[in-house]
Structure 1
Amino acid sequence: MNRKGCPDEYPISLIINGYEMAVFQLTNSDLDDWTYGYLFSEGFIQEASDIESVHINESLGTINVSLRADFDETHVFSKKKHYTAGCGRGVTFFSMTDVKSFAKVTSNKAYPLSYLLKKRSQFAQNSELYLETGGMHGACIVDEQGGITIREDIGRHNAVDKIIGHALRNCLQPERLILLTTGRVSYEMLSKAAKFGFPVIGSRTAATKQAVQLAKYLNIEVIGYLRGKMATIYTSLGRVENDLSVDLAVEMH
């Protein structure tokens, strides 16, 4: 029997301007990217320069963040928390109503379905932690030149925060990027992608009804079940060109 190693998860406390926000279950990799991505996704920062410093203490399991602006914890924690589903469970402060207030995506860039399937395959082949353990989620951005960048975590939403943090720290513009994920696209996953402004999201599995409704409202193309030579296009906004045989059963929703 070919046994894989066990995936790691650690309790890590996020402290903002001296105030302990919460303890998160995370994979101990790319924690700086996660910090930037999570704080952006949840509206604590609008750009990377809003963070003055990040200090990660792996032995204590803490991430200490200094924001340039004052942190009003009373205002933040008066908002209702929404607990996310799935492994590496997290929390978001955005409701579906909040997400609907995000800016709508205006990109008109279209991609052949064969291209998305090829990039999804490259993503899978280069997900090192998944290949090592068989129990990790991943998120990947495809840039305009076809290059891929991957981040992995025990939690699918943590992986997306990590890749958003990478994009934010490197001043990448979302209009020409594709977001690929191994996890189910639920409303909180859609909200993270929408906050950054990704015009196309592809997943190896399904999207929830709520996520599809939000995607249509925010003009985001969502493609599920990107595997081998198949896909489900949930939103049909014209950003995916089916250049493959109809026998491949690309289901239009």
Structure 2
Amino acid sequence: MTRISLTRRVVGVDQTGAAIEQDVVEERPLTIYLNSQEIVTAMTIGDYPEYLALGFLRNQGMLEGAGAVMRIDYDDELAVVVVRTEHATNHEEKLKKKTRTSGCAVGTVFGDMMEGLEGLRLPEAELRTSWLYALAAQINTTPSLYLSAGAIHGTVLCARDQPLVYMEDVGRHNAVDKVSGWMMQNDERPEDKILYTTGRLTSEMVIKCAHMGIPALVSRSGFTVWGVELAQQVGLTLIGRMRGKRFQCLAGAERVVWDADLAQIKDEPKKSGRKAS
């Protein structure tokens, strides 16, 4: 079996504006079939596709009554894996096509999300490092369900250095969707906003932010290669690994204004605040 690369070297800048090279996790689509029925498209790093397909179908209860698994066919070029069973299953008749992504909890419909992305270009809004540090300090200590109970994601809509609305949920996509709904209900314009999240900066997170029209996405967590590439495509400023005085910018660095004095920024306490995931 051909060994695939699970990471790619990406060039960006750090909190001082100095050039860096960062190993970023790859993100690839994999479509899973159960016999002739297309079941799901998963966003994955790409290794062990046969195990992923078989385990997904088993954990979803889709192999019950199917008899033995006769074989598993994987096409690397098409990024398709087909699990073939001895008997057809009821799932193949009643299931409509679904799409899960690399998100937590309930996934998102990735194909629908991609529609309208071509030609989209976000406003060229500046992002000051002083805003980033002020936001991180406030958000990291804001009373929240996470700080009291853990095991939850947070998303914050911000205007410059001020948090506007804070949403939490078990899945980071749910938290982002709540913010989007709040913006619609309150006629909040997106072009001067910053979206802060505790979740990974994957392709679908970047796409959601782009569809919301927000020109800057900031996270305590890391990136995927496709997330970075899509951010570059739509003109999104993408900041990750935002902890204390440290961060990395892998897209849109030309719109960052380096106005903060790092000597005045405190390191984040190790035993307090938020973790990323």
TM-score of the aligned structures, taking structure 2 as reference length: 0.56
Instruction: Report how far residue 100 of structure 1 moved.
Output: 3.2
Which residue of the other structure, out of 88, 91, 96, is the alignment partner of 2:105?
A: 88
Greater Rg, structure 1 or structure 2?
A: 2
Map of 1:132 onto structure 2: 148
With over 3 angstroms needed to count, the CA separation of the structure-2 counterparts of 1:145 and 1:114, relative to structure 1, is closer
TM-score of the aligned structures, taking structure 1 as reference length: 0.61
Which residue of the other structure, out of 179, 183, 208, is the alignment partner of 1:167?
A: 183
Letter in 1 for 2:108: V
Superposed CA offset, 1:44-95 (max 9, x none): xxxxxxxxxxxxxxxxxxxxxxxxxxxxxxxxx97x6431224313231436
Instruction: Report how far residue 111 of structure 1 moved.
Output: 2.4
Instruction: Tell me how many residue pairs correspond in the alignment.
Output: 170
Please tell me the root mean square deviation across aligned C-alpha atoms, in Å.
Answer: 2.5
Q: Say if 1:137 and 1:155, in contact at 8 Å, map to a contact too.
A: yes
Identity between Structure 1 and Structure 2 (%) = 34
Secondary structure of residue in 2 paired with 1:225: strand
Superposed CA offset, 1:77-126 (max 9, x none): 97x64312243132314367536326211x23212213112202212222
Which residue of the other structure, out of 220, 240, 245, is the alignment partner of 1:224?
A: 240
Secondary structure of residue in 2 paired with 1:101: coil
Map of 1:209 onto structure 2: 225
Question: Does 92-101 or 118-127 show the bigger shift?
Answer: 92-101
Which residue of the other structure, out of 93, 114, 128, is the alignment partner of 1:112?
A: 128
Letter in 2 for 1:98: E
With over 3 angstroms needed to count, the CA separation of the structure-2 counterparts of 1:145 and 1:209, relative to structure 1, is closer
Letter in 1 for 2:231: A
Aligned-partner Cα distance in 1 for 2:161–2:150: 29
Which residue of the other structure, out of 252, 255, 276, is the alignment partner of 1:236?
A: 252
Secondary structure of residue in 2 paired with 1:131: helix
Which residue of the other structure, out of 192, 200, 204, is the alignment partner of 2:216?
A: 200
Letter in 2 for 1:135: A
Map of 2:8 onto structure 1: none
Letter in 2 for 1:87: C
Aligned-partner Cα distance in 1 for 2:159–2:261: 26
Q: Say if 2:131 and 2:160, in contact at 8 Å, map to a contact too.
A: no
Letter in 1 for 2:115: D
Secondary structure of residue in 2 paired with 1:175: coil
Map of 1:50 onto structure 2: none
For structure 2, the 5+ residue unaligned runs are 1-94, 266-277
